[in-house]
Structure 1
């Protein structure tokens, strides 16, 4: 009997999780309002991300996800989707001890602490390494192609609740497991309503500078950071800001000017030394990073969903027998709230999701739905 998994959400986490699940033999359907090739949509963060691999966490769980993702992305370099780039990261405070203890120093290539005499004026510490970069405009369509080749169905539909995803809809069979990769949508998704979910507003400038080949950044500004991320397609992302709790999707002209001025001060080569006003800007982008107070939620549970009603499911308890005639239990796996680290954690989280789904079917084999109609 086939095991059907419905993934809600088609951002980088949802798509990567669906791909990993399909490779393990599960029947997988993605249901989402926005699909991977909706590259102009501001409804999800994946098209607007910096999309490089550069760890900024110090957490064992997250670092394990990042390490797995680094190894997978590195294996994609021959495809042209991912490229190696030298990186220099600077700090306005002296954090040399923290740099010396970076967890990934033996994972990436060429890691070193930058000597004081090599630091730009006003910078107190820094590190260099070789990291990875990709371009969402090519990577997300590639992910969609891989999903279709693997037999994963992609259905464009807004989902209001876990019950709706579980109970089937036109073109979608009933689910044995639902994987919740809704990002900020988890705040309003029926059956979840996670009020710890919050946006982190980011604004960037996408510029054309194929001659710029070094990732650079400065941390320590009171109103954000400065970063320069070259991509395989010759474009470069300049940022940025991290405005926690802001849902504003409009472009702020003053912020754009600050981004360009700081980037030019760090890398005059962006305009061949012709001033920040002459950096060839392609577009100004704003996206909302799907963050969560307390960190990402990646875990599984059992919930009861009504057979027909789209109402919110409830967790299985000792009194569940009172509702058994009107409902059925399903597995629910959550994977959302990683904030600005979606790409650099995506394959590790997807592997974690796959393990959680496998554990569910191993622990509850009797919960496979006998009728998918």
Structure 2
């Protein structure tokens, strides 16, 4: 139990994207803590460019590429998501279990042997110009449904939320998580802060991490309930990345792009057309079955089933995820600040694993301070 006597420790989590929500939930469910999420935007809000988590595809396809620490983080996350997606479970509706095939034009030797049904593709089964490929079973994530599931589960376990725009982490350190509530007279000091602001780490006072930068990703959502498999083709260094991600709902996410430091906040029409062209080339099955029975489909056959087009800013960081602790002045004494941000395009894939590390860092810091 992480408290002295029976008094839970007060923890503030800054940020309510998938990483902030997962971390807050992990800490709240651990026991011994009262966690409050402090954020400007929550998953039940309308989509905005300032909240990337709702724009994500998303599927669990690890980006670890041989990094043992990242692989461990991603493995743990997949295990949790696989359990959450179990048929009949409370979160089943957020996930779809599918066969996944990944092709690599640059010949990368990717092994995800810890994924179910993992196979290296023989050369004769590769698509044109692909040099390597793998297949396995994974889950896709209906990101709005899943983020709202995380939030509702967090609240049901006694977590709290405060909607505000934090200008500097010292505001929370001195005044507590509820200092922003108008007319709130009782100051509740926090014992620690966990910082999960995504791209906001660039500008949040007390953090201002200039190693954080956006990787703009544009995508298109189609209504194609006949698609029940995932397919990805990774290009080398040209900012392109074609993926087909079906959701349980029957919607299918088609993408995409990976462009560093591109801040344009809405979908570019010419990019949408290009994404549809690449998506159809990789997956002709995107076109309605009645069209394919008559002739070879074209992009114009996809436009009537387009539901939405948009983009998001993946919160990348030079050097990868920041998972470490610093100490700052609190209301009465120095308190630990745990950092958990910089996940880039792997926020969903690494959410539970990085939350576990953040919890370990928190517990270790509180032990060192004599508070645990």
TM-score (norm 1): 0.88
In structure 2, distance between residues paired with 1:144 and 1:94: 40
Q: Equivalent residue for 1:302?
A: 327
1:194 to 209, 219, 222: 209
Between 1:344-353 and 1:215-224, the stretch displaced more is 215-224
Q: Equivalent residue for 2:318?
A: 293
Q: Deviations over 1:186-237 (max 9, x none)?
A: 1111111111110100100011111111110111262411111111211111
- For residues 224-373 of structure 1, the aligned pairs below 5 Å read 224-272=240-288, 273=292, 274-279=297-302, 280-305=305-330, 307=331, 328-365=333-370
Q: Equivalent residue for 1:37?
A: 44
1:109 to 99, 110, 116: 116
In structure 2, distance between residues paired with 1:298 and 1:37: 27
In structure 1, distance between residues paired with 2:349 and 2:46: 19
Q: Deviations over 1:233-289 (max 9, x none)?
A: 111111111111111112111111111001111111111333222221100011001
The change in CA–CA distance for 1:355 and 1:303 in structure 2 (over 3 A counts) is same
In structure 2, distance between residues paired with 1:108 and 1:158: 39
2:127 to 96, 105, 120: 120
Between 1:135-144 and 1:331-340, the stretch displaced more is 135-144
Alignment coverage as a number of residue pairs: 341
In structure 1, distance between residues paired with 2:68 and 2:239: 28
Secondary structure in 1 matching 2:117? strand
Secondary structure in 2 matching 1:94? coil
In structure 2, distance between residues paired with 1:110 and 1:75: 16
2:70 to 52, 56, 62: 62
In structure 1, distance between residues paired with 2:43 and 2:188: 22
Aligned 8 A contact 1:37 1:144 in 2: no
Secondary structure in 2 matching 1:190? coil
Stretches of structure 1 lacking an aligned partner (at least 5 in a row): 308-326, 369-373
Between 1:169-178 and 1:284-293, the stretch displaced more is 169-178
Secondary structure in 1 matching 2:47? coil
In structure 1, distance between residues paired with 2:62 and 2:46: 25
Secondary structure in 1 matching 2:232? strand
In structure 2, distance between residues paired with 1:117 and 1:184: 42
Deviation at 1:86, TM superposition (A): 0.6
Aligned 8 A contact 1:39 1:137 in 2: no
Secondary structure in 2 matching 1:30? strand
The change in CA–CA distance for 1:194 and 1:76 in structure 2 (over 3 A counts) is same
Q: Equivalent residue for 2:104?
A: 91
Secondary structure in 1 matching 2:210? coil
In structure 2, distance between residues paired with 1:341 and 1:71: 15
